[in-house]
Amino acid sequence: MDLAGKLSGKNVKSISFGYLVLKLFLKLRKWPKIVTRTNNICFSIYFLNCIKIIFMQIIEKYFPELTPTQKEKLEQLAPLFQEWNMRVNLVSRKDIEYLNIRHVLHSMSVAKFFRFRTGTEILDIGTGGGFPGIPLAILFPEVNFHLVDSIGKKIKIVKIIADELDLQNIKADQARGENLKYKYDFIASRAVTSLPKFFYWMKGKIKKQSAHEFSNGIIYLKGGEFQEELKQIPWENKVYTLNDLFEESFFDTKKLIYLYPPAKRNK
């Protein structure tokens, strides 16, 4: 799928024009005989600003309650990430132009289903370049996030980006999830391995006592088919379909899976 996405009716309603303009630019910058290096740089600056404006329009459409500080940090996130991704491969270079939708907005989808109380402790395991942890830390400044990955150079960049954004509610460490000793209210991740394997690694790291009206548990962002995987997990589950909320075609197959032990009160 190209940058314009699948131009379905619902996409045309929102930002297809901006994507089409951006797509044209990406083609132009590959034609050095038509666009000089100097003009290309000017185009790049102009269209990066366009991307930021388009993205923030999308964000404000789905999250109209954002504070000015949250908007500012979200605007700063993509340029910071793109800069460091040129040095360390945090996400696929082919995927970087889709960063705002496929990584930032995807991570923020958790906030459409959960409201965490002040002091809640969340582990983001296999965070990679900081997803979903960094966008969620922006949305929930009173919640403590522990971002963990086994690759040290990625964690180093995550720490730098968190510092640049002044996200004091983030702690980042190089570690393997199964070796962590601490327990958390929730564990969030974006499909780092099969769901049953992830569950058996992480189920012992969740606090039993919940401070919410719903149980502590695992929040897993995943696409594709996973019904057979769910049958292998003894906990209760709820599956939320993301394309019920987001118009962009990327979300057509994306789900949020909430796993929790049986309890009297659940979301």
| Of the candidates 154, 146, 144, the residue with the CA atom closest to the CA atom of residue 180 | 146
- ω into residue 68 within 30 of 0, thus cis? no
The reported pLDDT for the residue numbered 23 is: 54
The reported pLDDT for the residue numbered 25 is: 53
pLDDT less than 70: residues of the chain: 1-52, 263-267
DSSP conformational letter for 94: T
What class, spelled out in words, does domain 106-260 have in CATH?
alpha beta
| Tokens standing for residue 186 | 């929730």
Backbone CA torsion sign across 127, 131, 133, 134: positive
Residues carrying CATH 3.40.50.150, the chain: 106-260
Element (H, E) at 40: helix 37-62
The answer to whether 10 touches 253, Cβ cutoff 8 Å, is no
What are the pLDDT digits (tens) for 14-35?
444 555 555 555 555 455 544 4
